[in-house]
């Protein structure tokens, strides 16, 4: 059997997640508290004040990971049920890296407005909602409306997760090569959810809008193009460039969220000195790591793969962003909270890497530089730095229902909470 398939049914247990009770149920007395008649008491307390749900139920540490299966990884629309292994996997990562519980929910509905209605209706059960593998452009509308209609954080990871990690990597890569973010020419290839979000966040980080070229499968998105979605239209430039090859000439940064092998050696050679190339197509990037390095020795290369340096991995984002948001009971995840996460990752990558990280990666040693521009997921400091930054930003933005006053104590609580996972 294929090893990946074997993993998903090892020890005779199908799947990757289970539900484990947090209270004893070993006696008749326990049962009377867990269910009837004792359970009536918290019911009445929650009826009096909805905030009591955070005191008497798991709501405050429970995230719904939701998909309709229309954009599963790089596999496209495979149906809601086929998305379940991915959603279970997200649950594993939430728990392993941030001690957040997850219910994965696969919804067999492609109509965006009906999907919004369903998700809103079930939202009271959860402290947050992580949308996943929902195709564009519908995903923009779905997330936007749910943020408006729900009083808990809603986060479409395909959009923002990649953007947050990539922005941290971009800031560090440009620092390493000594380039000013406000002066670099950036090309983003792929105008789906991740490409649009990366473009927006790069601009928020300091890239000038007139210096960013967005491309899709038809080439450069320019002001003469007709039939553009509103999301694409905001990046339309008045330019004579029409192809990806045109756009790449003299570019300082290439961000690929598209298809394998669309960048040739000649296109890479046409870029400016010390080019920064993020080739994120999975499993096969826009240009392979080997080909890029053989073509240019001055390239800083990142991919979405774990077997090469500089993996831009969403697991560096969503668990810790939700951890910080849940801990202050944020009503939403703001742009400031996303940027705070990116800057926390940027800063952490510049610090000395502990020996425990080296052990987690078969003895490899890491230090800030061309082949280490973002932290590793198995760095135990990530939760402390990122969750705190996100929680602080939520307080600053006025979306924290339970602001934290003692940040040192909060940091200590995160270390204690995760101690078992890092033994």
How do 253-256 and 276-279 pair as beta strands?
Answer: parallel
Spot the catalytic one: 35, 56, 361, 421. Answer: 35
Encode 45-82: b = buried (16+ Cβ within 10 Å), e = exposed.
ebeeeeebbbeeeebbbbbbbbbbbbbbeeeeeeebee
For residue 54, indicate whether it is catalytic: no
Look at residues 135, 167, 327, 337 and name the one whose alpha carbon lies nearest to residue 255.
Answer: 167
Contact (CB, 8 A) for 97 and 420: no
Rounded Cα distance between 387 and 15, Å, is: 29
The reply to whether 35 belongs to the active site is yes
Cβ neighbourhood burial of 27 (10 Å; 0-12, 13-18, 19+): exposed
- DSSP-derived letter for residue 405 is S
Question: How many CB atoms within 10 Å of residue 359?
Answer: 11
Q: Judging by DSSP bridges, how do beta strands 186-189 and 154-156 pair with one another?
A: unpaired
Q: How far is CA 313 from the centre of its chain?
A: 8
Structure token digits, residue 163:
């953007």
Q: How many CA atoms lie within 13 A of 367 on its CB side?
A: 2
**Contact assessment for residue 84 and residue 65, using Cβ atoms and an 8 Å cutoff:** no
Count H helices and E strands in the chain, helices first.
18, 10
Short-list 81, 169, 127, 149, CA closest to 350: 169
- Out of 16, 59, 84, 90, the active site residue is 90
Q: How far is Cα 221 from Cα 223, in angstroms, rounded to an integer? A: 7
Q: Hey, what are 273's tokens?
A: 């000195």
Question: Is the alpha carbon torsion for 61, 151, 386, 378 positive or negative?
Answer: positive
Active site positions, annotated: 35, 90
């Amino acid at each position: 059997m294929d090893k990946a398939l074997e993993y998903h049914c090892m020890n005779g247990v199908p799947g990757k997640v289970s539900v484990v009770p947090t209270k004893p149920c070993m006696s008749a007395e326990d049962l009377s508290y867990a269910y009837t008649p004792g359970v009536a008491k918290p019911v009445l307390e929650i009826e009096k004040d909805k905030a009591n749900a955070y005191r008497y139920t798991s709501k405050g540490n429970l995230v719904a990971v939701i998909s309709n299966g229309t954009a599963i990884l790089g596999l496209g629309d495979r149906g809601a049920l086929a998305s379940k292994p991915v959603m279970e996997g997200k649950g594993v990562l939430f728990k392993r890296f941030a001690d957040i519980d997850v219910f994965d929910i696969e919804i067999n509905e492609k109509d965006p407005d009906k999907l919004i209605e369903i998700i809103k209706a079930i939202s009271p059960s959860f402290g947050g909602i992580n949308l996943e593998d929902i195709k564009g452009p519908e995903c923009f509308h779905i997330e936007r409306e749910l943020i408006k209609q729900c009083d808990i954080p809603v986060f479409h990871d395909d959009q923002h997760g990649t953007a947050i990690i990539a922005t941290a990597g971009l800031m560090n890569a440009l620092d390493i090569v000594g380039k000013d973010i406000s002066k670099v020419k950036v090309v983003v290839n792929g105008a789906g959810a991740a490409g649009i979000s990366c473009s927006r966040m790069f601009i928020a980080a300091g890239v000038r809008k007139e210096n960013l070229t967005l491309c899709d499968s038809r080439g450069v998105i320019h002001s003469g193009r007709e039939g553009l979605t509103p999301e694409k239209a905001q990046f339309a430039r008045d330019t004579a460039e029409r192809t990806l090859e045109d756009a790449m000439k003299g570019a300082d940064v290439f961000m690929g969220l598209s298809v394998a092998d669309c960048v040739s050696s000649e296109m890479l050679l046409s870029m400016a000195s010390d080019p920064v190339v993020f080739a994120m197509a999975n499993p096969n990037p826009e240009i392979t790591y080997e080909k890029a390095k053989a073509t240019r020795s001055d390239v800083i290369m990142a991919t979405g793969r774990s077997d090469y340096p500089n993996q831009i991995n969403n697991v560096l984002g969503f668990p810790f962003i939700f951890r910080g948001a849940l801990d202050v009971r944020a009503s939403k995840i703001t742009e400031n909270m996303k940027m705070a996460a990116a800057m926390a990752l940027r800063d952490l990558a510049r610090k000395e890497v502990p020996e425990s990280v080296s052990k987690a990666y078969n003895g490899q040693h890491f230090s800030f530089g061309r082949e280490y521009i973002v932290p590793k997921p198995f760095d135990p400091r990530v939760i402390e730095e990122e969750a705190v930054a996100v929680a602080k930003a939520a307080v600053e933005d006025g979306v924290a229902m339970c602001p934290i006053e003692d940040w040192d104590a909060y940091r200590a609580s995160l270390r204690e909470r995760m101690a078992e996972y890092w033994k």
